[in-house]
A and B are shown apart, each in its own frame.
Chain A
Amino acid sequence: MMRVDLAVVGAGPAGLAAAAEAVTHGMTVALIDDNARPGGQYFRHVPPSFRRTAATAFDKDRARAEALFAITRHPQVTYLPEATVWDVPEPLTLAVAAGPRSGQVEAGAIVVAAGAHDRPVPFPGWTLPGVVSAGGVQNLIKGFRLVPGTRAAVAGNGPLLFLIGASLLRAGVAVAAVVEAAPIDRRLPAALPQLLAAPEILQQALDYRWALLRAGVPVLTGWAPVNAEGEDAVRAVQAAPIAEDGSVDRARARSFDCDLLVVGFGLVPSVELLRLAGAGLRFDRRRGGWLPERDEALETTRRNIFAAGDGTGIGGVELALIEGRRAAVEAAVQLSRIAPFAADEIRAGLRRRWKRLDRFRRGIEALFAPPKDFLALQTPQTVLCRCEEVTRQEIEERRAEGFRGAVQLKSTTRMGMGRCQGRNCMATLAALVAADSGASESAVALPKARAPARPIPIGDLLHETIPPPDLPADPHLPRKRRT
């Protein structure tokens, strides 16, 4: 058992910024992260054993990353890499699995900066080797300078597709096509005023688009992947126009040969821990789906549990850095570690930048707003649940027998009961149930969140030291457990 002022879950941009801010107010911090090295997905970097012999185009944000990573070595910070937070057993206690270092962390306040992962969108062939998520390909490029293919197609929905297309070109890979579901070219004029709130980010996006144009890469907007073809690995992708209502015109499909199909349909905030903590969630499809409810101080509906960064709704690295700082300042206020006037000064500076970036984000959301759903990409044989290999047809068979709700379909097909614990399929199941019932996705009752938040080795639990309950000396209450 460890006791700290602030526990930070996630050592990505928001978590690192939160830890760095907290120590300036004299707080002790536990910084807990799943990965072996800090940075999360955005600041993912090559291992220390990879020596840099020359500056490379892939090192753009390296100086900023190194400055942020310094916080992991600060004397007030206990940095726990390769550690999984698997439960929130008490309102301000985290259960951590990390081999022999496993145990509980008790904190005055918690900042959950759990980040996000790719939205899984099933279509025929999406389980084939060589079909890799956008985040996964980014990680291979940033973390290992490796691309698992020589001719790539990029398909899905969201601004990341253009960034990835450009990175692949820079890595020396041929790009067969970039396929974007939203009709962004038609929408650009309307979104431009908001996008101009952050001209420096807009410029980057235009650079990516320009690089693709210069390389002669076909960019199809208002199109979606409808089939990944291949037996043991992907060898081509077929794409077809998709309308705003989600309908697909397969008769106009075009085929692109590729040995790597990068799929990215936007990001889904990782809210499992917040669900376990009992924090209230709300639904915002454009921003990633289920998000924590927060007040202006970034506090969730659970007292002293704050949430920051992409795990609260996709906003990107700059917004995450600001939110991490803001959450730590608010935690410091709650724990009386900062004078109110000093907090106000920091808040004012952060709020100005936050507003500007939030305006930009709204522009991006309007530009890339997805079709109503992606259910028309599926065929009866399409695997919806990768872990348990449940197909659309099996869902339809159970529906014909009268199973309609998400919980009913889960228990009768095992969809959502595999190792990923529903991360890859629950959004699909919710969309199917919503389309079936005519209700919105936000009205679909999802199965209850249960610990462990992620599969953990059972041996890690043996290292737990469970503290005695802290009960008042009231003779009518059960006796305190002896330790």
Chain B
Amino acid sequence: MTHRFDAGIDRGTAFTITVDDAAVRAFPGESVAAALLGDGRRAFRRTARTGAPRSLYCGMGVCWDCLVTIDGRSGLRACMTEAQPGMRVLTGRTGLEPEAGR
């Protein structure tokens, strides 16, 4: 399980994002990756070729492994995207994202 720590920090008021069909709590300023990990989630997606689970690895925008679909845009790095109230995040299999505009 993940834990948020540091008694010297007031994170402010949490808001909600939607991850697949679930409501997930996020604090202002957190990345989507931090919100997902903070919710105790492990896999952020499954790979296109073998369906293997993947999650945050480099945590600094280099490895492109923590990809999620946010508000219809696929292939976004969860570690580099700030969570916003009401965001809709999909964590399914890469390559099977809903195709917008077709």
Contacts and interface: CB of A to CB of B under 8 A. Distances in A.
Contacts of A49: 11-12, 27-29
Interface residues of B, number: 45
A132 B4 contact: no
Contacts of B64: 387, 418-420, 455
Given A148-B37, A387-B64, A50 B12 contact: yes
A340 interface: no
A149 B58 CA distance: 16
B47 to A, nearest CB: 6
A46 B62 CA distance: 20
Interface in B58-97: 58-65, 67, 75, 79-80, 82
Contacts of A419: 64, 67, 75
B7 interface: yes
Contacts of B53: 128-129, 232-233
B57 A50 contact: no
Contacts of B65: 127, 386-387, 420
A135 B57 CA distance: 9
A394 B75 CA distance: 26
A117 B58 contact: yes
A171 B4 CA distance: 9
B54 A36 contact: no
A48 interface: yes
B34 A140 contact: yes
B59 A56 contact: no
A127 B52 contact: yes
B60 to A, nearest CB: 6
Residue among B44, B60, B67 having the largest count of chain A Cβ atoms under 10 Å: B60
Main secondary structure of the interface of B (DSSP, over half): loop
Interface string A12-36: 0000000000000000000000111
B3 interface: yes
Contacts of A127: 52, 54, 57, 65
Contact of B42 (A50, A233, A383, A420): A233
A51 B10 contact: yes
Interface string A120-147: 1000000111111101111110011111
B56 A47 contact: no
A47 B29 contact: yes
A120 B59 CA distance: 13
A229 to B, nearest CB: 14
Contact of A53 (B10, B28, B63): B10
Nearest to A386: B65
Given A35-B61, A129-B43, A129-B44, 17 more contacts: A34-B80, A46-B29, A47-B28, A51-B9, A51-B10, A130-B42, A135-B60, A137-B59, A139-B59, A140-B37, A140-B56, A143-B34, A144-B38, A146-B2, A270-B62, A386-B63, A387-B65
Residue among B1, B9, B49, B61 having the largest count of chain A Cβ atoms under 10 Å: B9
Interface of B: 1-12, 27-31, 34, 37-38, 42-44, 47, 49-50, 52-65, 67, 75, 79-80, 82
Nearest to B65: A386
A41 B61 CA distance: 11
A172 interface: yes
A464 interface: no
Nearest to B49: A389
21 contacts: A41-B60, A46-B29, A48-B29, A49-B11, A50-B10, A58-B6, A59-B8, A120-B63, A129-B43, A129-B55, A143-B31, A145-B5, A146-B37, A146-B38, A149-B1, A173-B3, A232-B53, A270-B62, A386-B65, A389-B52, A419-B75
Contacts, number: 157
A13 B10 CA distance: 27
A150 interface: yes
A131 B57 contact: yes
B1 A144 contact: no
A132 B5 contact: no
Contacts of B60: 41, 117, 135-136, 139
Contacts of A249: none
B52 A420 contact: no
A46 B9 contact: yes
A5 interface: no
A118 B14 CA distance: 32
Contacts of A252: none
Contact of A146 (B3, B55, B62): B3
Interface in A42-91: 46-56, 58-59
Contacts of B58: 117-118, 133, 135-136, 424
B4 A145 contact: yes
A259 B2 CA distance: 9
A171 B5 contact: yes
Contact of B1 (A51, A58, A150, A172): A150
A383 B3 CA distance: 29
Contacts of A145: 4-6, 9
A423 interface: yes
A232 B42 contact: yes
A424 to B, nearest CB: 5
Contacts of A58: 6, 8
A113 to B, nearest CB: 15
